[in-house]
Protein backbone atom coordinates (compact mmCIF):
# COMPACT_ATOMS: atom_id res chain seq x y z
CA UNK A 1 0.00 0.00 0.00
CA UNK A 2 1.10 3.55 -0.76
CA UNK A 3 2.72 5.31 2.20
CA UNK A 4 0.33 7.74 3.84
CA UNK A 5 1.25 11.42 4.14
CA UNK A 6 2.19 12.89 7.52
CA UNK A 7 2.67 16.38 8.85
CA UNK A 8 6.30 17.49 8.83
CA UNK A 9 6.84 18.86 12.34
CA UNK A 10 5.43 19.03 15.85
CA UNK A 11 4.82 22.75 15.48
CA UNK A 12 2.93 22.00 12.27
CA UNK A 13 0.81 19.45 14.13
CA UNK A 14 -0.14 21.97 16.82
CA UNK A 15 -0.82 24.73 14.30
CA UNK A 16 -3.04 22.64 11.99
CA UNK A 17 -5.06 21.34 14.96
CA UNK A 18 -5.32 24.83 16.43
CA UNK A 19 -6.34 26.00 12.96
CA UNK A 20 -9.24 23.59 13.06
CA UNK A 21 -10.25 24.65 16.55
CA UNK A 22 -9.83 28.40 16.20
CA UNK A 23 -12.57 29.62 13.91
CA UNK A 24 -15.82 31.50 13.65
CA UNK A 25 -16.72 29.63 16.83
CA UNK A 26 -14.17 31.68 18.76
CA UNK A 27 -14.54 35.11 17.27
CA UNK A 28 -18.23 35.07 16.29
CA UNK A 29 -20.06 32.40 18.30
CA UNK A 30 -18.23 32.66 21.65
CA UNK A 31 -18.77 36.38 22.26
CA UNK A 32 -22.41 35.95 21.19
CA UNK A 33 -22.89 33.15 23.73
CA UNK A 34 -21.08 35.11 26.44
CA UNK A 35 -23.32 38.10 25.77
CA UNK A 36 -26.50 36.02 25.81
CA UNK A 37 -25.56 33.98 28.89
CA UNK A 38 -24.44 36.66 31.28
CA UNK A 39 -20.70 37.19 30.83
CA UNK A 40 -18.07 35.88 33.21
CA UNK A 41 -20.11 33.07 34.82
CA UNK A 42 -20.55 31.53 31.39
CA UNK A 43 -16.82 31.82 30.71
CA UNK A 44 -16.00 29.94 33.91
CA UNK A 45 -18.39 27.09 33.07
CA UNK A 46 -17.01 27.08 29.56
CA UNK A 47 -13.42 26.72 30.79
CA UNK A 48 -14.48 23.82 33.03
CA UNK A 49 -16.11 22.12 30.03
CA UNK A 50 -12.91 22.58 28.02
CA UNK A 51 -10.71 21.06 30.74
CA UNK A 52 -12.98 18.24 31.89
CA UNK A 53 -14.59 17.26 28.60
CA UNK A 54 -12.78 18.95 25.74
CA UNK A 55 -9.17 17.94 26.40
CA UNK A 56 -9.89 14.25 27.16
CA UNK A 57 -12.22 13.94 24.18
CA UNK A 58 -9.78 15.65 21.85
CA UNK A 59 -7.07 13.27 23.04
CA UNK A 60 -9.43 10.35 22.49
CA UNK A 61 -10.07 11.47 18.93
CA UNK A 62 -6.32 11.79 18.34
CA UNK A 63 -5.89 8.22 19.61
CA UNK A 64 -8.37 6.82 17.08
CA UNK A 65 -6.81 8.73 14.18
CA UNK A 66 -3.13 8.26 14.95
CA UNK A 67 -3.48 4.58 15.79
CA UNK A 68 -5.09 3.69 12.48
CA UNK A 69 -3.72 6.35 10.10
CA UNK A 70 -7.02 6.18 8.25
CA UNK A 71 -10.04 8.38 7.55
CA UNK A 72 -12.65 8.23 10.36
CA UNK A 73 -14.91 5.73 8.61
CA UNK A 74 -12.11 3.22 8.03
CA UNK A 75 -10.51 4.03 11.39
CA UNK A 76 -13.55 2.78 13.32
CA UNK A 77 -13.86 -0.17 10.94
CA UNK A 78 -10.28 -1.18 11.64
CA UNK A 79 -10.53 -0.76 15.41
CA UNK A 80 -13.96 -2.41 15.72
CA UNK A 81 -14.34 -4.71 12.72
CA UNK A 82 -17.79 -6.04 11.98
CA UNK A 83 -19.54 -3.79 14.52
CA UNK A 84 -21.87 -0.83 14.28
CA UNK A 85 -19.07 1.51 15.42
CA UNK A 86 -18.35 2.22 11.80
CA UNK A 87 -21.43 4.48 11.91
CA UNK A 88 -19.67 6.70 14.43
CA UNK A 89 -16.90 7.29 11.87
CA UNK A 90 -19.42 7.72 9.08
CA UNK A 91 -21.51 10.15 11.12
CA UNK A 92 -18.44 12.31 11.81
CA UNK A 93 -17.58 12.59 8.14
CA UNK A 94 -21.18 13.29 7.21
CA UNK A 95 -21.47 15.99 9.85
CA UNK A 96 -18.22 17.61 8.67
CA UNK A 97 -19.78 17.84 5.24
CA UNK A 98 -22.91 19.48 6.65
CA UNK A 99 -21.03 21.89 8.88
CA UNK A 100 -18.73 22.90 6.02
CA UNK A 101 -21.80 23.81 3.97
CA UNK A 102 -23.40 26.21 6.43
CA UNK A 103 -20.13 27.38 7.98
CA UNK A 104 -19.05 28.60 4.53
CA UNK A 105 -22.07 30.87 4.41
CA UNK A 106 -20.90 32.82 7.46
CA UNK A 107 -17.33 32.71 6.15
CA UNK A 108 -18.75 34.18 2.94
CA UNK A 109 -20.37 37.05 4.88
CA UNK A 110 -16.98 37.65 6.45
CA UNK A 111 -15.31 37.90 3.06
CA UNK A 112 -17.98 40.37 1.94
CA UNK A 113 -17.38 42.46 5.08
CA UNK A 114 -13.62 42.33 4.57
CA UNK A 115 -14.02 43.62 1.02
CA UNK A 116 -16.42 46.33 2.22
CA UNK A 117 -14.03 47.23 5.03
CA UNK A 118 -11.10 47.61 2.63
CA UNK A 119 -13.24 49.83 0.38
CA UNK A 120 -14.11 51.95 3.40
CA UNK A 121 -17.81 51.09 3.38
CA UNK A 122 -17.95 49.38 6.79
CA UNK A 123 -16.80 52.56 8.49
CA UNK A 124 -19.08 54.89 6.54
CA UNK A 125 -22.37 52.98 6.21
CA UNK A 126 -25.28 54.86 7.72
CA UNK A 127 -27.34 51.88 8.89
CA UNK A 128 -25.36 48.72 9.62
CA UNK A 129 -28.45 46.63 10.42
CA UNK A 130 -30.05 47.51 7.09
CA UNK A 131 -26.80 46.72 5.28
CA UNK A 132 -26.59 43.31 6.94
CA UNK A 133 -30.22 42.43 6.24
CA UNK A 134 -30.08 43.63 2.68
CA UNK A 135 -26.87 41.72 1.99
CA UNK A 136 -27.85 38.43 3.64
CA UNK A 137 -31.30 38.48 2.06
CA UNK A 138 -30.14 39.14 -1.46
CA UNK A 139 -30.19 36.28 -3.92
CA UNK A 140 -26.71 36.62 -5.39
CA UNK A 141 -23.86 37.96 -3.32
CA UNK A 142 -24.10 35.59 -0.35
CA UNK A 143 -24.10 32.64 -2.75
CA UNK A 144 -21.14 34.00 -4.70
CA UNK A 145 -19.19 34.69 -1.49
CA UNK A 146 -19.96 31.21 -0.15
CA UNK A 147 -18.62 29.70 -3.38
CA UNK A 148 -15.48 31.89 -3.28
CA UNK A 149 -14.51 30.88 0.27
CA UNK A 150 -15.13 27.22 -0.58
CA UNK A 151 -12.83 27.62 -3.58
CA UNK A 152 -10.16 29.13 -1.32
CA UNK A 153 -10.34 26.09 0.94
CA UNK A 154 -10.33 23.87 -2.17
CA UNK A 155 -7.15 25.58 -3.33
CA UNK A 156 -5.34 24.50 -0.15
CA UNK A 157 -6.82 21.01 0.22
CA UNK A 158 -6.01 20.04 -3.33
CA UNK A 159 -2.30 20.62 -2.55
CA UNK A 160 -2.39 17.87 0.04
CA UNK A 161 -1.30 17.37 3.61
CA UNK A 162 2.15 18.99 3.88
CA UNK A 163 2.22 21.32 0.88
CA UNK A 164 -1.38 22.41 1.49
CA UNK A 165 -2.86 22.13 4.97
CA UNK A 166 0.38 22.35 6.97
CA UNK A 167 2.07 25.02 4.88
CA UNK A 168 -0.90 27.38 4.88
CA UNK A 169 -1.75 26.81 8.54
CA UNK A 170 1.82 27.76 9.41
CA UNK A 171 1.35 31.02 7.54
CA UNK A 172 -2.18 31.85 8.63
CA UNK A 173 -2.16 30.95 12.32
CA UNK A 174 0.77 33.18 13.40
CA UNK A 175 -0.74 36.04 11.41
CA UNK A 176 -4.06 35.47 13.14
CA UNK A 177 -2.46 35.52 16.60
CA UNK A 178 -0.60 38.72 15.76
CA UNK A 179 -3.79 40.46 14.61
CA UNK A 180 -5.59 39.40 17.80
CA UNK A 181 -2.84 40.90 19.94
CA UNK A 182 -2.98 44.21 18.06
CA UNK A 183 -6.77 44.38 18.32
CA UNK A 184 -6.86 43.58 22.05
CA UNK A 185 -4.43 46.39 22.80
CA UNK A 186 -6.45 48.76 20.62
CA UNK A 187 -9.76 47.82 22.24
CA UNK A 188 -8.37 48.30 25.77
CA UNK A 189 -7.12 51.71 24.80
CA UNK A 190 -10.63 52.98 24.05
CA UNK A 191 -12.14 55.29 26.63
CA UNK A 192 -14.85 53.60 28.72
CA UNK A 193 -13.64 50.14 27.85
CA UNK A 194 -13.48 49.16 31.53
CA UNK A 195 -17.24 48.47 31.65
CA UNK A 196 -16.71 45.82 29.03
CA UNK A 197 -13.90 44.30 31.07
CA UNK A 198 -16.12 44.24 34.14
CA UNK A 199 -18.81 42.42 32.15
CA UNK A 200 -16.24 39.82 31.13
CA UNK A 201 -14.56 39.45 34.49
CA UNK A 202 -17.33 39.73 37.10
CA UNK A 203 -19.38 36.53 37.26
CA UNK A 204 -23.14 36.63 37.83
CA UNK A 205 -23.90 33.12 39.04
CA UNK A 206 -27.64 33.73 39.18
CA UNK A 207 -27.66 33.30 35.41
CA UNK A 208 -26.43 29.70 35.59
CA UNK A 209 -28.97 27.01 34.74
CA UNK A 210 -29.20 23.84 32.62
CA UNK A 211 -29.60 25.88 29.48
CA UNK A 212 -26.40 27.80 30.14
CA UNK A 213 -24.60 24.55 30.85
CA UNK A 214 -25.79 23.02 27.60
CA UNK A 215 -24.76 26.13 25.71
CA UNK A 216 -21.32 26.09 27.32
CA UNK A 217 -20.84 22.44 26.48
CA UNK A 218 -22.12 22.84 22.92
CA UNK A 219 -19.84 25.82 22.50
CA UNK A 220 -16.84 23.89 23.88
CA UNK A 221 -17.45 21.00 21.48
CA UNK A 222 -17.96 23.30 18.54
CA UNK A 223 -14.98 25.46 19.35
CA UNK A 224 -12.59 22.56 19.90
CA UNK A 225 -13.94 20.72 16.83
CA UNK A 226 -14.46 17.53 18.87
CA UNK A 227 -16.93 14.75 18.32
CA UNK A 228 -16.57 14.85 14.55
CA UNK A 229 -14.15 13.43 12.03
CA UNK A 230 -11.91 16.48 11.73
CA UNK A 231 -9.36 16.00 14.49
CA UNK A 232 -9.42 12.26 13.94
CA UNK A 233 -8.49 12.84 10.30
CA UNK A 234 -5.73 15.31 11.16
CA UNK A 235 -4.41 12.87 13.77
CA UNK A 236 -4.20 10.22 11.09
CA UNK A 237 -1.41 12.35 9.60
CA UNK A 238 0.41 12.78 12.95
CA UNK A 239 3.88 11.30 13.24
CA UNK A 240 4.61 8.57 15.78
CA UNK A 241 6.48 10.97 18.05
CA UNK A 242 3.63 13.51 18.31
CA UNK A 243 2.56 13.83 21.94
CA UNK A 244 -1.20 13.46 21.95
CA UNK A 245 -2.03 14.78 25.43
CA UNK A 246 0.33 17.68 25.10
CA UNK A 247 -1.03 18.57 21.67
CA UNK A 248 -4.61 18.45 22.95
CA UNK A 249 -3.67 20.63 25.92
CA UNK A 250 -1.85 23.18 23.74
CA UNK A 251 -4.69 23.34 21.22
CA UNK A 252 -7.29 23.79 23.97
CA UNK A 253 -5.18 26.54 25.53
CA UNK A 254 -4.71 28.40 22.24
CA UNK A 255 -8.38 28.00 21.38
CA UNK A 256 -9.61 29.27 24.74
CA UNK A 257 -7.17 32.16 24.70
CA UNK A 258 -8.35 33.23 21.28
CA UNK A 259 -12.00 32.99 22.36
CA UNK A 260 -11.45 35.01 25.53
CA UNK A 261 -9.29 37.54 23.69
CA UNK A 262 -12.04 37.92 21.09
CA UNK A 263 -14.30 38.80 24.01
CA UNK A 264 -11.63 41.26 25.15
CA UNK A 265 -11.66 42.81 21.69
CA UNK A 266 -15.40 43.01 21.28
CA UNK A 267 -16.90 43.88 24.67
CA UNK A 268 -14.66 46.77 25.75
CA UNK A 269 -15.25 48.26 22.29
CA UNK A 270 -19.00 47.69 22.47
CA UNK A 271 -19.26 49.16 25.97
CA UNK A 272 -17.10 52.09 25.06
CA UNK A 273 -19.68 53.39 22.57
CA UNK A 274 -22.55 52.57 24.97
CA UNK A 275 -25.43 52.73 22.54
CA UNK A 276 -25.39 49.08 21.54
CA UNK A 277 -26.32 46.08 23.66
CA UNK A 278 -23.75 43.36 24.42
CA UNK A 279 -26.37 40.63 23.91
CA UNK A 280 -27.11 41.63 20.34
CA UNK A 281 -26.98 37.98 19.19
CA UNK A 282 -25.42 36.66 16.01
CA UNK A 283 -25.54 40.12 14.47
CA UNK A 284 -22.95 41.23 17.05
CA UNK A 285 -19.96 41.15 14.75
CA UNK A 286 -21.80 42.08 11.57
CA UNK A 287 -24.19 44.75 12.84
CA UNK A 288 -22.88 46.01 16.16
CA UNK A 289 -19.20 46.16 15.37
CA UNK A 290 -19.45 48.29 12.21
CA UNK A 291 -21.23 50.93 14.32
CA UNK A 292 -18.58 50.57 16.99
CA UNK A 293 -15.77 51.06 14.46
CA UNK A 294 -17.54 54.16 13.21
CA UNK A 295 -18.53 55.77 16.49
CA UNK A 296 -15.36 55.05 18.40
CA UNK A 297 -13.14 56.50 15.73
CA UNK A 298 -15.29 59.37 14.52
CA UNK A 299 -12.37 61.76 14.75
CA UNK A 300 -9.72 59.40 13.41
CA UNK A 301 -11.48 57.51 10.60
CA UNK A 302 -8.26 55.97 9.35
CA UNK A 303 -7.82 54.13 12.65
CA UNK A 304 -11.42 52.90 12.40
CA UNK A 305 -10.72 51.69 8.88
CA UNK A 306 -7.60 49.84 10.06
CA UNK A 307 -9.50 48.18 12.92
CA UNK A 308 -12.31 47.08 10.65
CA UNK A 309 -9.98 45.61 8.03
CA UNK A 310 -7.90 43.79 10.65
CA UNK A 311 -10.97 42.43 12.41
CA UNK A 312 -12.61 40.95 9.34
CA UNK A 313 -9.27 39.63 8.09
CA UNK A 314 -8.89 37.88 11.43
CA UNK A 315 -12.36 36.40 11.15
CA UNK A 316 -11.70 35.21 7.59
CA UNK A 317 -8.36 33.59 8.45
CA UNK A 318 -9.95 31.83 11.40
CA UNK A 319 -12.82 30.60 9.25
CA UNK A 320 -10.59 29.35 6.45
CA UNK A 321 -8.34 27.18 8.61
CA UNK A 322 -11.42 25.56 10.15
CA UNK A 323 -12.98 25.05 6.74
CA UNK A 324 -9.83 23.23 5.65
CA UNK A 325 -10.24 20.83 8.56
CA UNK A 326 -13.86 20.16 7.58
CA UNK A 327 -12.94 19.71 3.91
CA UNK A 328 -10.20 17.15 4.54
CA UNK A 329 -12.13 14.26 6.24
CA UNK A 330 -14.63 14.02 3.41
CA UNK A 331 -11.88 14.33 0.82
CA UNK A 332 -9.77 11.65 2.57
CA UNK A 333 -12.77 9.33 2.66
CA UNK A 334 -13.32 9.71 -1.08
CA UNK A 335 -9.62 9.19 -1.80
CA UNK A 336 -9.24 6.13 0.37
CA UNK A 337 -12.62 4.46 0.02
CA UNK A 338 -13.45 5.22 -3.59
CA UNK A 339 -9.89 5.45 -4.91
CA UNK A 340 -10.40 8.92 -6.38
CA UNK A 341 -7.44 11.19 -7.05
CA UNK A 342 -7.02 14.04 -4.56
CA UNK A 343 -8.00 16.51 -7.25
CA UNK A 344 -11.25 14.72 -8.09
CA UNK A 345 -12.12 14.00 -4.46
CA UNK A 346 -11.57 17.62 -3.43
CA UNK A 347 -13.67 18.81 -6.37
CA UNK A 348 -16.57 16.52 -5.45
CA UNK A 349 -16.57 17.91 -1.91
CA UNK A 350 -16.22 21.53 -3.02
CA UNK A 351 -19.00 21.31 -5.60
CA UNK A 352 -21.42 19.47 -3.32
CA UNK A 353 -20.78 22.01 -0.56
CA UNK A 354 -21.36 24.88 -2.96
CA UNK A 355 -24.74 23.31 -3.75
CA UNK A 356 -25.69 22.77 -0.09
CA UNK A 357 -24.17 26.11 0.92
CA UNK A 358 -26.30 27.85 -1.70
CA UNK A 359 -29.45 26.47 -0.08
CA UNK A 360 -28.21 27.62 3.35
CA UNK A 361 -27.22 31.05 2.05
CA UNK A 362 -30.60 31.53 0.44
CA UNK A 363 -32.43 30.53 3.60
CA UNK A 364 -31.94 34.13 4.80
CA UNK A 365 -33.57 35.52 1.67
CA UNK A 366 -35.53 33.83 -1.12
CA UNK A 367 -35.84 30.53 0.80
CA UNK A 368 -36.60 32.15 4.14
CA UNK A 369 -40.07 30.65 4.30
CA UNK A 370 -39.03 27.14 3.36
CA UNK A 371 -38.98 25.38 6.70
CA UNK A 372 -37.29 22.10 7.32
CA UNK A 373 -37.82 19.76 10.27
CA UNK A 374 -38.87 21.48 13.55
CA UNK A 375 -39.88 24.58 11.60
CA UNK A 376 -36.24 25.63 11.14
CA UNK A 377 -34.75 27.19 8.03
CA UNK A 378 -32.07 25.15 6.25
CA UNK A 379 -29.30 27.19 7.86
CA UNK A 380 -30.72 26.91 11.38
CA UNK A 381 -31.46 23.24 10.89
CA UNK A 382 -27.87 22.49 9.84
CA UNK A 383 -26.57 24.46 12.82
CA UNK A 384 -28.97 22.80 15.26
CA UNK A 385 -28.30 19.31 13.92
CA UNK A 386 -24.53 19.62 14.03
CA UNK A 387 -23.83 21.78 17.09
CA UNK A 388 -26.64 20.64 19.37
CA UNK A 389 -27.16 17.01 18.31
CA UNK A 390 -24.35 15.40 16.32
CA UNK A 391 -21.40 16.94 18.15
CA UNK A 392 -22.59 16.01 21.67
CA UNK A 393 -23.74 12.60 20.42
CA UNK A 394 -20.40 12.12 18.66
CA UNK A 395 -18.60 13.15 21.86
CA UNK A 396 -20.67 10.71 23.91
CA UNK A 397 -20.00 7.78 21.57
CA UNK A 398 -16.32 8.71 21.32
CA UNK A 399 -15.93 8.60 25.10
CA UNK A 400 -17.62 5.19 25.26
CA UNK A 401 -15.47 3.91 22.42
CA UNK A 402 -12.13 5.00 23.81
CA UNK A 403 -13.04 4.65 27.49
CA UNK A 404 -14.83 1.30 27.38
CA UNK A 405 -14.46 -0.43 24.03
CA UNK A 406 -10.80 -0.03 23.08
CA UNK A 407 -8.32 -2.16 25.02
CA UNK A 408 -6.72 -0.11 27.78
CA UNK A 409 -3.28 -1.16 26.53
CA UNK A 410 -3.89 0.33 23.14
CA UNK A 411 -4.95 3.64 24.68
CA UNK A 412 -1.90 3.72 26.94
CA UNK A 413 0.36 2.78 24.04
CA UNK A 414 -0.90 5.77 22.08
CA UNK A 415 -0.72 8.16 25.04
CA UNK A 416 2.88 7.17 25.76
CA UNK A 417 4.05 6.81 22.15
CA UNK A 418 4.62 3.12 22.53
CA UNK A 419 5.85 3.41 26.13
CA UNK A 420 8.57 5.92 25.26
CA UNK A 421 7.04 8.71 27.34
CA UNK A 422 6.73 8.52 31.11
CA UNK A 423 3.73 10.00 32.87
CA UNK A 424 2.82 9.98 36.54
CA UNK A 425 0.12 7.43 37.37
CA UNK A 426 -2.42 10.05 38.40
CA UNK A 427 -2.48 11.32 34.84
CA UNK A 428 -3.70 8.00 33.44
CA UNK A 429 -6.12 7.58 36.32
CA UNK A 430 -7.58 11.03 35.69
CA UNK A 431 -7.72 10.52 31.93
CA UNK A 432 -9.61 7.24 32.22
CA UNK A 433 -11.88 8.62 34.93
CA UNK A 434 -12.80 11.62 32.80
CA UNK A 435 -13.26 9.71 29.58
CA UNK A 436 -15.12 6.73 31.11
CA UNK A 437 -17.37 8.49 33.60
CA UNK A 438 -17.34 12.25 33.60
CA UNK A 439 -17.63 12.82 29.86
CA UNK A 440 -20.48 10.40 29.07
CA UNK A 441 -22.45 11.18 32.25
CA UNK A 442 -22.07 14.94 31.89
CA UNK A 443 -23.14 14.86 28.26
CA UNK A 444 -26.14 12.67 29.11
CA UNK A 445 -27.20 14.72 32.13
CA UNK A 446 -27.10 17.96 30.22
CA UNK A 447 -29.05 16.44 27.34
CA UNK A 448 -31.77 15.05 29.62
CA UNK A 449 -32.02 18.34 31.46
CA UNK A 450 -32.60 20.01 28.16
CA UNK A 451 -35.30 17.54 27.10
CA UNK A 452 -37.27 17.89 30.34
CA UNK A 453 -39.79 20.74 30.39
N1 LIG B 1 -13.93 24.75 15.73
C2 LIG B 1 -14.41 25.55 14.65
C3 LIG B 1 -14.75 26.94 15.19
O4 LIG B 1 -14.59 27.19 16.39
O5 LIG B 1 -15.18 27.76 14.41
C6 LIG B 1 -15.57 24.98 13.92
C7 LIG B 1 -15.51 23.54 13.66
C8 LIG B 1 -14.50 22.99 12.88
C9 LIG B 1 -16.45 22.71 14.21
C10 LIG B 1 -14.42 21.64 12.71
C11 LIG B 1 -16.40 21.37 14.03
C12 LIG B 1 -15.39 20.85 13.29
F13 LIG B 1 -15.35 19.56 13.15
How far is Cα 445 from Cα 307, in angstroms, rounded to an integer? 42
Spatial distance between the Cα atoms of 230 and 325, rounded to a whole number of angstroms: 6
Q: What is the pLDDT, as a whole number, of residue 18?
A: 98
Distance 175 CA to ligand 1 centre (A): 19
pLDDT of residue 278: 61
Question: Which alpha helices (DSSP H) does 300-415 contain, by range?
Answer: 301-338, 342-362, 378-383, 391-400, 408-415
- Of 393, 407, 400, 406, the residue nearest 437 (C-alpha): 400
Atom from ligand 1 closest to the CA of residue 24: 5
Give the rounded distance of the alpha carbon of 86 from its chain centre: 24
Q: Which CATH architecture has domain 10-451?
A: Orthogonal Bundle (1.10)
Instruction: Map out the domains of the chain as residue ranges.
Output: 10-451
* pLDDT on residue 1: 45
Q: What is the pLDDT of residue 206?
A: 83
Full DSSP string of 345-356? HHHHHHHHHHHH
For residues 303 and 203, what is the distance between their CA atoms, to the nearest angstrom?
Answer: 32
- Answer positive or negative: Cα dihedral of 148, 153, 157, 163: positive
The residue contributing the CA closest to ligand 1 atom 9 is: 225
Q: Per residue of the chain (453 residues), what is the pLDDT tens digit?
A: 456 899 999 999 999 999 999 999 999 889 888 888 878 889 999 999 999 999 999 999 999 999 999 999 999 999 999 999 999 999 999 999 999 999 999 999 999 999 999 999 988 888 888 899 899 999 899 999 999 999 999 999 999 999 999 999 999 999 999 999 999 888 888 777 788 888 888 888 888 877 788 788 888 988 999 988 899 999 999 999 999 999 999 999 999 999 999 988 888 877 776 555 665 556 778 888 888 888 877 788 898 899 899 999 999 999 999 999 999 999 999 999 999 999 999 999 999 999 999 999 999 989 888 887 778 888 888 888 887 788 889 999 999 999 999 999 999 999 999 999 999 999 999 999 999 999 999 888 877 766 665
Measured in angstroms, how far is the CA atom of residue 383 from the centroid of ligand 1?
Answer: 12
Distance 225 CA to ligand 1 centre (A): 4
To test the pocket of ligand 1, the residue of 103, 221, 315 to mutate (highest count of ligand atoms within 8 Å of its CB) is 103
DSSP code, position 403: I
Which residues line ligand 1 at a C-beta cut-off of 6 Å? 20-21, 23-26, 96, 99, 222-223, 225, 228, 230, 322, 325-326
Q: Could you tell which of 27, 71, 227, 322 is best to mutate to test the pocket of ligand 1, judged by most ligand atoms within 8 Å of the CB?
A: 322
Work out the widest C-alpha separation in the chain, in whole angstroms: 68
Amino acid sequence: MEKRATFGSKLGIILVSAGSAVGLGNVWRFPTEVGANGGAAFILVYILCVILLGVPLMTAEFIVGRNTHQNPFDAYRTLAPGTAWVFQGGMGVFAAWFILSYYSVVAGWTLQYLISAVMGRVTTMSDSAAYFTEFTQSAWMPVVMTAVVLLMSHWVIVRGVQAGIEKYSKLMMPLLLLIIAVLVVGSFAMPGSSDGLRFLLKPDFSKLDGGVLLSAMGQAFFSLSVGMGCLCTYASYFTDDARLLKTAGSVALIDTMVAVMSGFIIFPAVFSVQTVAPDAGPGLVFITLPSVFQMAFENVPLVGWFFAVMFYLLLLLAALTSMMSLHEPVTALFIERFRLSRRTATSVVTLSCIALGTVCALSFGPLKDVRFLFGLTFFDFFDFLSAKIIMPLGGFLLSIFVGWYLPRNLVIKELTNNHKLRFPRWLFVSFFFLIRWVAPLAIMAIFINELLP
